[in-house]
Structure 1
Amino acid sequence: MLATTAESKHSRRPAGGAGATAKAPRQPLRRCLASGAVLPKADLLRFAVDPEGQVVPDLGERLPGRGLWLQPRRDMMEKACKKNLFARAAKRQLRVPSDLVEQVELLALRRCLDQLGLARRAGSVVVGYEKVKAALKADRIGLLLQAEDGAADGTDKLRALAQAVGKGTAVQSFCDAAALGAALGRSAAVHVGVMRGRFAAALERDVERLAGLRGGQDRGNGVGRPTEGERWST
């Protein structure tokens, strides 16, 4: 359902200019229950246990208690549930909701839309083909979002422009025009640009998590498109 292209991860310029040598701060590491891989916390999803002994997702990493960590991939989630890995890690009996995988996917989608709304309120979003095109040409966009049901002509042109002139501009798609619009206080939105900075980086990370939770394997084939139904062209 969701495909992404993200050129930004390997092409962002280091802070302080070309000659900067300062080391990035070390990130805390955690082990994925399902794969055993030890990864930075930013690359994992946290789960917690509520007072009744039920496993609950903690995408914001704010709930108290010991965290249980998984890579944000559908297969990792399914493995953890099927093999009772949460209980093994906690060394006690736990209740795992039968729809935990679906819960996490919905929460991840809501988090993406909420982050987009925050970026809009902070003045870090431009909407509409012409405004996004101008911002791309000025190399101001860190993340280009395109509706899954957007017309191919417009989405293809902006994606090509982002790849041609954007130094580290990610291009992603995760929902339809109506959902993008609702997050931005309008009826629909097909082309959305998030300005370079913390909002673009955080939202890119959250959309990639959502892709993994939906079972996305290849994030380099461009924007996912609907196979039927009306496409937005504005």
Structure 2
Amino acid sequence: MEHDEHLTADTANVLGPADAGPERRCVLTQAHGPRASLIRLAVGPDEQVAPDFNGKLPGRGAWIVADRAILDAAMTKGKLKGALARAFKSNALRLPEDLADQIAAGLERRALDRLGLENRAGNLIWGHERIGEAIIKGKIRLLIHAGDARPDGVGKLEAKRRGASPGTPSIVLPVGRDQLSMALGRENVVHAAISDAVSAARVMQALERWAAFNGGKVHKADDEDDEEQVAAAVAVAAAERH
């Protein structure tokens, strides 16, 4: 395959570590990466190409890196259709013009659904006071803020996290409280926390895959963050939603 500078960009940020699971090859960049960090494309009986997020649809599949910029460039130049024609051994494929939008929406839905699943499993804590108490007791493995959370509310929880559990990651979602509340089946959820380490890892994987596709990253707080940096992360998240 003829390589293109837009299609051979550094994909390390979206392919992830080499030991993260069975590897597959991106048909656009030829880069190898774990299945969890790529997107599988499948073809239906009507020759329509569609994303297969679970990687379980029958038939031959083709994998692409989870990077919207690379996908958009490939579609614009006709390289995706050619790559898929070779992968599926068919020239009759129907490639939807909104494929990138389908993938973006699907990754967002899966990330929010994952939060809902962990909530139903009893792994989430919500409510500013409850979360604050859990942080102090060392029971938090991941702290989550809605993208439209007030900086002062975020700052207070972050101060407790830095003081009592500085090694615990903290993230600002690229969606607001309405989407977070809907995902958890509750009203007006602005902050949430995960108390189980395995659950936290699952959520982070889904969030990072979603963010990577859109050319960004999950906004994380660390030991050096102060209130101004937290407010900046909230502002960035708000800008990304519009």
TM-score interval for Structure 1 and Structure 2 normalised by the shorter chain: 0.7 to 0.9
Matches for 1:1-234 after TM superposition, within 5 Å: 27-82=21-76, 83=79, 84=81, 85-93=83-91, 94-164=93-163, 165-216=165-216, 219=219, 223-225=233-235, 226=238
Contact 2:208 2:218 in 1 (8 A): no
- Report the Cα offset of residue 26 of structure 1: 7.5
Q: How many residues align?
A: 206
Matching residue of 1:230: none
Per-residue deviation, residues 202-221 of structure 1 (Å, max 9, x unmatched): 11111111112222168567
Q: 1:147 to 1:31 in 2, by over 3 A?
A: same
Structure-2 separation of matches of 1:218 and 1:135:
23
Determine helix, strand or coil for the equivalent of 2:125: strand
Match of 1:231 in 2: none
Give the TM-score of the pair, scaled to structure 2: 0.75
- Residue by residue over 1:179-227, the C-alpha shift from the partner in whole angstroms, topping out at 9 and shown as x without a partner, is 1111122222110112223322111111111112222168567634236
Deviations 1:66-118 (A, max 9, x none): 22112211112213433123223223221111111111111111111111111
In the alignment, what sits opposite 1:13? none
Percent identity (aligned): 35
In the alignment, is the contact (CA less than 8 A) between 2:41 and 2:52 conserved in 1? yes
Deviations along 1:145-182, one digit per CA (max 9) or x if unpaired, are 21111101111332354355143424241210011111
**Runs of 4 or more consecutive aligned structure 1 residues displaced over 6 Å after TM superposition:** none
What stretches of structure 2 of length at least 5 have no aligned partner? 1-15, 221-228
Question: Quick check: 1:148–1:224 contact (8 Å CA) kept in 2?
Answer: yes
Seen in structure 2, the aligned counterparts of structure 1 residues 26 and 203 have a Cα distance that, compared at 3 Å, is: closer
Question: 2:171, 2:219 within 8 Å by CA — same for their partners in 1?
Answer: no
Query: Normalized against structure 1, the TM-score is what?
Result: 0.78
SS of the residue aligned with 1:207? helix
Q: Which whole-Å CA distance do the structure 2 matches of 1:217 and 1:153 have between them? A: 23
Cα gap change, 1:36/1:125 in structure 2, threshold over 3 Å: closer, same or farther? same
Q: 1: CA distance between counterparts of 2:162 and 2:53? A: 31
What is the RMSD of the two structures over their aligned residues, measured on CA atoms? 2.6
